[in-house]
Structure 1
Amino acid sequence: MFRLAHLSDAHLGPLPDVTYRELASKRAVGYINWQRNRRRHMHDAVIDTIVGDMKAMMPDHIAVTGDLVNLALDGEIELARQWLETLGAPEDVSVVPGNHDAYVPGAFDKTCRAWAPWMSGDGQSHPVDRHSFPYLRVRGQVALIGVSTARATAPFMANGYLREGQGKRLAALLEETAARGLCRVVMIHHPPVRHAVPQHKRLFGIRRFGRLMARHGAELVLHGHSHIPSLYYLEGANGPVPVVGVAAAGQSPGGKRPPAQYNLIDIETDGAGWRLKLTRRGLEGASLPPVDFETRDLTASSSEKVVSLRR
């Protein structure tokens, strides 16, 4: 059995000192949002609790599906790199970037340079940049495929983008790993499902992603961005593909969204196919340790069309 842990949207804080020059951009809007909202509900102590509990479950690998930072300030990007070092060795942790990690023009390139060891494919020798995605890592019988939807957007927008070039590279990786008989896990920040998030946060390229699943298939898709635990199914080449979201890893209890959670996915094969069991663990109250919210056989549920697991 292979145990994969999944967390997302840590939005690590606190913010470093911000200059007026840095705020002369979309960051001004994000800074106000941080002061009015995120600062009160996103806490490092919550993340520490979630990560500690997750490590106690002894996962074989950890998938982080984006939004490690808030405004993509240089200090934040460096802080996130240090946090990744505490999370695990690069070979044991796979990261894909989110929209906050590419908040303003130029930030995504800095993110790629700083977090490269956690966003590199097996045997990759060239520097990590926007053309490095999707990347492929194989751990045991599991293929971890990291897709980037991150791009700087206008103020009040948080959209993601899956362009044709990356789509073609993703198709090739899905075919290659299927031929090798691997369990294919696609990691992406924006949910590749219609109406999963408001229009100003949606993914441009949902139809493209859906066609890829229908033609080539996958065994699992993991995403973040919505800050809610969710489950959908997409049509796949070999049957429905579960698409799993997760609550924000830094969300404290008492907010509008569910408090912090992470996912555990146990993957095993009986020789004829793959079985995937999802367990959601997270905070139930301010003083309580993480608990199990749900255990679900994703394979057995594959006859369902669309399922939302909001609490």
Structure 2
Amino acid sequence: MTAFRLAHLSDLQLPPPPLPFRWRDVASKRLLSRFAWRRKRRRHIQAVLDAIAAHMVSRSPDHVAITGDVVNFSTPEEFEAARAWLLSLGDPREVTVSPGNHDALTARGAPRDFAPWRPWLSDGPPGDFPHLRVRGPVAIINLSSATPTALHLAQGALGRVQIDAAARLLRQAGAQGLCRVVLVHHPVTRGVVSGRKALTDAAEFRAMLRSVGAELVLHGHAHEAHLARLPGPDRDIPVLAAPAASTPAGGPGEPARWNEIAIAPGDAGFRIRVTAFGVTPALSVERLGAFSLYPAAQNPHDRPSPPQGAFL
């Protein structure tokens, strides 16, 4: 049977279009974020993101998962510009976006419930997260850890209601024999980011996953490639992060990368193999290596990621 190929990229941070001056932004987190963007704008380059996206599209994945931080300041102008960019990837039914903290930087003046991106969030009518999208043998459980925070914080939260709803969707998909892939922006394993950037209810979320299970969790936020494992009811749950998809090679930060995740039925569940592709200083995109997530031995504790650039 042909493997289902899921593309994963994260932290696009599309360069903002010209933004009008608004007095409400002076008293909000957006003003500080604009100063930060001016200092860090060379870490997020449109040409790098476009090269990554073009390479990804050329390989015709079955679905694309984007784990947040599509924009920077959560302004209406950014949401509309990002909508146009997302349309360039193809049919919104084949792309799922899990919002990040930059997509919810502040509630003042931001589109309610990420409304311009609704076709990329779920298949159904507007509603609260989580959302379930079934594609072939894969159940995509789309969560939102995006929530406005105070100055100097980039934390996320899921909330008890969303965690309980995700548990119900995971049980339902597991009973149907689907490969359950969870999308969330913030890391769910310990020690990936500092406390001011963490998922505040990660412990509760991990406890739910330990009870219910999943085949794979995808996230971003750390701007680094990372692989860990969480205990599940029957076997470890791989947790995989991709670096920012717009960071150039040769500068500060880990260069842009996207992961192609091949999912196929196996003797004991699913076989999952990851191939990583990264940008070069010349803006070409090259294969970095590949590794298997399943089959994997049971481990009751989180496992750290392999060294940067190393592959299993």
Q: TM-score, normalised by structure 2?
A: 0.93
Residues matched between the structures, number: 303
Counterparts in 2 of 1:26-45, with a 5 A limit?
A: 26-37=29-40, 39-45=41-47
- Pair 241,96 (structure 1): closer, same or farther in 2 beyond 3 Å: same
> Does the residue aligned with 1:136 lie in a helix, a strand or coil?
strand
Q: Counterparts of 1:119 and 1:183 in 2: how far apart (Å)?
A: 19
Residue 182 of structure 2 aligns with which residue?
186
Matched, 1:201 2:159: no
Query: Are the equivalent residues in 1 in contact too, given 2:43–2:253 (CA < 8 A)?
Result: no
Q: Counterparts of 2:297 and 2:275 in 1: how far apart (Å)?
A: 16
Q: Counterparts of 1:106 and 1:212 in 2: how far apart (Å)?
A: 32
Residue 290 of structure 1 aligns with which residue?
285
Residue 154 of structure 2 aligns with which residue?
158
Q: Counterparts of 1:109 and 1:233 in 2: how far apart (Å)?
A: 35
Counterparts in 2 of 1:11-50, with a 5 A limit?
A: 11-21=13-23, 22-37=25-40, 39-50=41-52
Residue 112 of structure 2 aligns with which residue?
110
Query: Are the equivalent residues in 2 in contact too, given 1:233–1:302 (CA < 8 A)?
Result: no
Q: Counterparts of 2:20 and 2:30 in 1: how far apart (Å)?
A: 10
Matched, 1:306 2:309: no
Q: CA deviation at 1:303?
A: 4.7
AA of the residue aligned to 1:246: A
Given the alignment, which residue of 89, 92, 95 partners 2:94?
A: 92
Q: Counterparts of 1:69 and 1:181 in 2: how far apart (Å)?
A: 35
- Pair 34,10 (structure 1): closer, same or farther in 2 beyond 3 Å: same
AA of the residue aligned to 2:305: S
AA of the residue aligned to 2:293: L
Residue 76 of structure 1 aligns with which residue?
78
AA of the residue aligned to 2:94: D
Query: Are the equivalent residues in 2 in contact too, given 1:5–1:264 (CA < 8 A)?
Result: yes
Q: CA deviation at 1:72?
A: 0.9
Residue 2 of structure 1 aligns with which residue?
4
Q: Which runs of 5+ in 1 are unaligned?
A: none
Given the alignment, which residue of 207, 232, 236 partners 1:236?
A: 232
Q: Counterparts of 2:110 and 2:264 in 1: how far apart (Å)?
A: 35
Query: Are the equivalent residues in 2 in contact too, given 1:77–1:111 (CA < 8 A)?
Result: no
AA of the residue aligned to 1:7: L
Q: Which runs of 5+ in 2 are unaligned?
A: none
- Pair 229,107 (structure 1): closer, same or farther in 2 beyond 3 Å: farther
Q: Counterparts of 1:241 and 1:65 in 2: how far apart (Å)?
A: 18
Name the Cα RMSD after superposition: 1.5
AA of the residue aligned to 2:88: T
Can you list the C-alpha shifts for 1:96-133, whole angstroms capped at 9, x where unaligned? 1000000002466435211001102x3x23x24xxx21
Q: CA deviation at 1:197?
A: 0.6
Q: CA deviation at 1:224?
A: 0.7
